Structure 1
Amino acid sequence: MGEKFQNIHADVLAKCLQGDRYAQSQLYKLYSKAMFNVCYRITNNFDDAEDVLQEAFISAFRNLQSYKGDAAFGAWLKRIVINKAINFIRKRQVEIAEIQDNVADEDSRPVEYSREMMDIERIKRAMKQLPDGYRLVFSLYLIEGYDHSEIAQILGITESTSKSQFNRSKKKLKEILQKEVIYE
């Protein structure tokens, strides 16, 4: 334990720490596309995602000395990006509606989707229709791979609220997709 992670971009990171603008540009090119996708999934808006991405990279470059190298740089950067995107969502809304912990999910059966409903573009469109809180938990859990305890910590909610929002987001997504099937 306690061993440092061997980063494949260590030379670029070292130059960035010295203030090398070209190295910063290289690092940006290496990670910007993937990090933009994270921003977009959370903010649900292209322009907002671009703004959040820029803020995240500025913050990362300003705080690069705090990167300890015990995980991949991309994972460290992704955490900054997610935090910036979440803060953006919080600022944009007066408050994200929280679901009461004691409200049980009405339908605890697993959601089943037909092959027709699994079209990726349709799911992306449907995800855009989810309320911010639902979309945020759904994206962090299913797409970004965080577990409910990590999501709870990131968002400042309880683990059961995270689970409840995720289950409700699945249910809402299913409703949206089923309405699309009816109207097509």
Structure 2
Amino acid sequence: MKITTGPAGWWRRMFAFLYELLLLIAVVLLAGGISQGVFQLLTGLPVTALPEHLLASALHFTWVMSVAFAYCAWCWRGGQTLAMRTWRICLVKSDGSPLGWREVGIRFAVVVICTLPCAPFWIFARHHADLRIVAWLLTALFFLPYLWALLDKERRFLHDRLAGTQLLIAPPRV
């Protein structure tokens, strides 16, 4: 794919991120539903019993994260997710070449580290007021990669900076 117009703007990337979030939530919900269905079939227990089984919970989490990684890796190695196609954004290495497994792994790991802890702590903070400060700090961690782009000289997100990738404007599809 030939990129002609340069780096994608911050707002374009943010709107693509929000759209991507909706798509990824659907992928994760589908993967979670499959995992819960398998749990019910194998154990005969209701889905509400899943958190009580440490091994089953760990396998469920591993499965959901693996599916999320597979979705991201498949799309990123191809240069575009559905949201990126919609907003005409292409993901490439800093030198313009397609992403390898190293870049995909680093990018995914940074995104997961910054986003994953936020939601559970807000759930706990609703019931334990002393955890609210931790929830707010984790919310700051959630926004760090995107705020980083405002300070970065090339306006890259933190995960793009660390992975050596960049988001460019893709040419219109004909």
Question: Normalising by structure 1, what TM-score?
Answer: 0.30
TM-score computed with the length of structure 2 as normaliser: 0.32
Determine which structure has the larger strand proportion and give its number: 2
Identify the structure with bigger relative contact order (alpha carbons < 8 Å, sequence gap 6+): 2
